[in-house]
Amino acid sequence: MRLFSLNMERSRHVHRIIPYICDTKPDVVCLQELTPGDIKLIGAATGLRFCHFVQMAVHPADNQPFGIGIFGRTPFLETDCIAYAGSTGAAATFDRSTADTRLATARYALALARLTVGGLEFTVATTHFPWSPEGQVLGFQTAAVQRLADMVRHRSVVLTGDFNAPRGGPIFAAVAGVLTDCVPPDIMTSIDPLLHRAGALELMVDGLFSSRDYRVSEVRMHNGLSDHQGLSARIEQV
């Protein structure tokens, strides 16, 4: 299975993302900060016609919902959404004033999809973890990652997402304590040096983790697609 994951910064970079997906033809695509209005566009253009979308909140810039999504080429065998932090609903207007208001006005969840690729079954999950300023670890993040880790501890799963916390810190370590961190250690950042508003930052905040029944190889980062770099990999069953 060929997998691709990206924080797409809502609709700002769709014109970059669609040609990339068409050229590389991944079997599964996980997107964070996805807007419902782009789901049909992406599906029709790329052949990834099936999407499991989980809404997080409504963005104040345009009053449009946004969230996380998993795209596949064939119908999913099963999907699930498990909230682990933030709002109990997903229709609140996202308040970006502080880390606390961000948490209170968005639903942070694990989106899961079980699907068949090449006659084999895979379970893929994605998430967008609660943010904190300058990568500091806040109490609500510690509680959230403990719940997230418990959710995936005994699952057969490949997990991708924007974890809003740098590798090397306790948030990444908590997930890596129950799943294998599959991004090679020599990859030092997942921030796009040209498209991110802060420029080049050495922060590896986007993750790819797997349970032991999967073999992950050919992990690559891809610039020029969004404010975060895209992450691609080959997934095999062990």
Average per-residue pLDDT for the chain: 97
Instruction: Write down the pLDDT at residue 171.
Output: 96
Count of domains in the chain?
A: 1
Query: Averaged over 163-171, what is the pLDDT?
Result: 95
Map the chain to HEC letters.
CEEEEEECCCCCCHHHHHHHHHHHCCCEEEEEEECHHHHHHHHHHHCCCEEEEEEEEEECCCCEEEEEEEEECCCCCEEEEEEEEECCCCCCECCCCCHHHHHHCCEEEEEEEEEEECCEEEEEEEEECCCCHHHCCCHHHHHHHHHHHHHHCCCCCEEEEECCCCCCCHHHHHHHCCCEECCCCCCCCCECCCCCCCCCCCCCCEEEEECCCEEEEEEEEECCCCCECEEEEEEEEC
Residue 45: give its domain's CATH number: 3.60.10.10
Tell whether the model's pLDDT for residue 160 goes beyond 90.
Answer: yes
Query: Averaged over 173-198, what is the pLDDT?
Result: 97
What percentage of the chain exceeds 70 in pLDDT? 100
Residue 215 lies in domain: 2-237
